[in-house]
């Protein structure tokens, strides 16, 4: 059969037969979703870096997220319909455009590095690195901000393409495995995808910020190339006779008249807004509710292990629902059963949110905080603290059990070599303070309970995504 064929033909046949299969497409699609989420996260962190330095408004991150949502809502239907004939090429096009926009950011580098290290009174940093450089003018800031916003919007549209083109490509070839494919993507979105901020925060403020950004962009481009190699239809493709008009407006009209899809879309939108918005402000909520340092990990309240554990719990929980709602099972779940289970799941999510809202502990007042805002304590007024740059980094005065916003706000100018826990020579109190709020011991157990219910919310929400897909699929 291949005796007179060229080497290129044999290689191409080998790729099409053994490499470019549905299983590989599914694997590549999983990696694509994770990489695009990481690129989106890194873009937001770079925008936050510019905002911290005063080049942009402090709320630009929120405004960009809202803008991305508006663009998704306005163009989502058109994007999903366009490219239906060659879905893998449509997905590749969006990935290539996103990668190009991300690479364009590298043309406008930061002119200096000024990482937001925690400061002591006098300007020294906790990490012992050089004092922050003098903030100057960054001529690249406007162009860099524009390209970052463009990249974020393209990331949002590419995520729609991953489901509208990539997932649909899988579902067209193996519709009986739809819950499996969908469950994996949701698992990635709610587990590893939410850890991107912790993974990329340090690199986004360093001199070598471009290394992580370049790597993510090139991986995005790599997946764009890989998807072009797949055929339009696999050998197991079965043609179906289409008896309806598949143009855009008729298709949109059929969707709008389908009550089940409209109700499920509304329910998913409400659930997604509640869950992902809460996740977006999780660090700020933890700091305000429990006075626990959320940006820099305190070893006593570190969330590194819990983040890993959370990912496994979410994946395990969603995998159970994937198997239970699979059409491979002889006792497959019916549509009305899926609807009832979905309603119960939403009730559980609401209950878990109520539990999170009710959790509290005895946190002491932070010195300088008043109803009108924060006022520098008089005992450290001479320090010239810029704690708004590096955020909440509390210390507790050993004599008065008073919590200060940061070592600088406590007037502490030196650090003892005890894993960074003790600062001394403080002008506020008896000259010594310990890292962490004074309420740390009383809040640690409650914070552990908070993390358990936080994980349950994500796991149960992911399960509802599986149920909603099953309801519509049936």
Instruction: Report H helices in 113-247.
Output: 141-161, 168-173, 178-190, 196-204, 209-228
Encoded tokens for 37: 């989420």
Question: 41 versus 397: which is more confidently predicted?
Answer: 41
Least confident of 22-31, 200-209, 339-348: 339-348
Evaluate if residue 328 carries a pLDDT over 70: no
Q: pLDDT band at 324, cuts 50/70/90?
A: low
What average pLDDT does the segment 405-414 reach? 85
Q: pLDDT band at 132, cuts 50/70/90?
A: very low
Task: List beta partners, residue 292.
Answer: none
SS3 assignment, position 366 = strand
What are the structural domain ranges in the chain? 14-127+139-233, 251-361+452-474, 369-438
pLDDT at position 311: 76
Nearest CA to 466 out of 321, 337, 275 is that of: 321
Question: 387 versus 146: which is more confidently predicted?
Answer: 146
* DSSP H/E element including 99: helix 87-105
State the CATH class of domain 14-127+139-233: mainly alpha
pLDDT at position 95: 96
pLDDT at position 134: 47
Evaluate if residue 233 carries a pLDDT over 50: yes
pLDDT at position 107: 94
**Dist. CA 55–CA 145, nearest whole Å:** 9
SS3 assignment, position 397 = strand
Distances (CA, A) of 232 to 83, 89, 91, 173, 381: 11, 9, 12, 11, 68
Instruction: Report H helices in 244-334.
Output: 248-257, 259-280, 282-290, 304-324
Q: pLDDT band at 159, cuts 50/70/90?
A: very high
pLDDT at position 1: 55
Evaluate if residue 283 carries a pLDDT over 90: no
Encoded tokens for 43: 């873009």
SS3 assignment, position 267 = helix
pLDDT at position 420: 57
Please give the mean pLDDT across all residues of the chain.
81
pLDDT at position 227: 93
pLDDT at position 130: 41
What average pLDDT does the segment 307-314 reach? 76
Question: 62 versus 127: which is more confidently predicted?
Answer: 62
CB 49 within 8 A of CB 114: no
Question: 411 versus 162: which is more confidently predicted?
Answer: 162
Radius of gyration of the chain (CA): 26
**Dist. CA 259–CA 193, nearest whole Å:** 31
**Dist. CA 298–CA 443, nearest whole Å:** 14
CB 465 within 8 A of CB 323: no
What average pLDDT does the segment 58-73 reach? 90
**Dist. CA 214–CA 212, nearest whole Å:** 6
**Dist. CA 312–CA 306, nearest whole Å:** 10
What is the total residue count of the chain? Answer: 474
**What percent of the chain has a predicted confidence (pLDDT) above 70?**
83
Q: pLDDT band at 129, cuts 50/70/90?
A: very low
pLDDT at position 146: 94
SS3 assignment, position 207 = coil
**Dist. CA 379–CA 426, nearest whole Å:** 9
Helix 248-257 vs helix 259-280: crossing angle, to nearest 10: 90
Evaluate if residue 322 carries a pLDDT over 80: no
User: Is 434 exposed, middle or buried, given 0-12, 13-18 or 19+ CB atoms closer than 10 A?
Assistant: middle
**Dist. CA 222–CA 372, nearest whole Å:** 51
pLDDT tens for 235-282 read 766 666 667 777 888 888 888 888 877 877 888 888 888 888 888 888
Q: What is the pTM of this model?
A: 0.83
């Amino acid at each position: 059969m291949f005796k007179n064929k060229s080497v290129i033909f044999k290689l191409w046949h080998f790729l099409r037969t053994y490499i470019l299969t549905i299983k590989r497409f599914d694997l590549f699609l999983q990696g694509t979703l994770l990489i695009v989420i990481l690129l989106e996260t890194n873009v937001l962190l770079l925008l936050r870096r510019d905002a911290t330095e005063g080049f942009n408004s402090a709320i630009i991150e929120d405004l960009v997220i809202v803008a991305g949502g508006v663009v998704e809502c306005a163009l989502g239907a058109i994007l999903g319909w366009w490219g239906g004939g060659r879905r893998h090429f449509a997905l590749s096009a969006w990935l290539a455009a996103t990668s190009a926009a991300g690479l364009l950011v590298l043309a406008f580098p930061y002119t200096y590095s000024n990482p937001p290290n925690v400061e002591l009174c006098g300007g020294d940093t906790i990490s012992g690195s050089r004092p922050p450089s003098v903030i100057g003018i960054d001529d690249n800031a406007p162009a860099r901000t524009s390209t970052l916003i463009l990249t974020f919007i393209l990331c949002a549209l590419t995520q729609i393409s991953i489901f509208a083109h990539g997932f649909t490509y899988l579902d067209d070839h193996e519709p009986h495995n739809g819950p499996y494919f969908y469950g994996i993507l949701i698992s990635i979105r709610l587990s590893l995808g939410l850890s991107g901020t912790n993974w990329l925060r340090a690199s986004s403020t360093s001199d070598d910020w471009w290394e992580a950004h370049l790597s993510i962009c090139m991986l995005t481009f790599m997946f764009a190339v890989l998807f072009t190699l797949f055929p339009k239809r696999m050998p197991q493709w079965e043609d179906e006779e289409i008896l309806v008009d598949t143009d855009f407006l008729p298709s949109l009209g059929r969707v709008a008249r389908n009550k089940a899809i409209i109700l499920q879309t509304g329910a998913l939108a409400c659930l997604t807004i509640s869950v992902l918005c809460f996740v977006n402000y999780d660090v700020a909520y933890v700091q305000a509710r429990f006075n626990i340092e959320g940006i820099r990990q305190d070893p006593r309240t570190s969330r590194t292990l819990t983040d890993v554990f959370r990912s496994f719990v979410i994946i395990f929980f969603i995998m159970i629902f994937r198997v239970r709602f699979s059409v491979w099972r002889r006792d497959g779940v019916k549509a009305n059963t899926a609807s009832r289970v979905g309603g119960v799941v939403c009730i559980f999510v609401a209950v878990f949110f109520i539990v999170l809202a009710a959790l509290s502990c005895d946190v002491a007042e932070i010195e300088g905080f008043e109803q009108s805002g924060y006022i520098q304590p008089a005992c450290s007024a001479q320090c010239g603290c810029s704690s708004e740059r590096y955020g909440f980094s509390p210390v507790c005065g050993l004599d008065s059990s008073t919590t200060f916003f940061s070592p600088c706000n406590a007037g502490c100018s030196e650090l003892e070599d005890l894993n960074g826990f003790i600062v001394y020579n403080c002008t506020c109190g008896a000259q010594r303070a310990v890292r962490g709020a004074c309420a740390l011991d009383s809040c640690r157990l409650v914070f552990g309970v908070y993390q358990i219910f936080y994980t349950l919310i994500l796991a149960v929400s992911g399960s509802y995504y599986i149920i909603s897909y099953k309801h519509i699929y049936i």
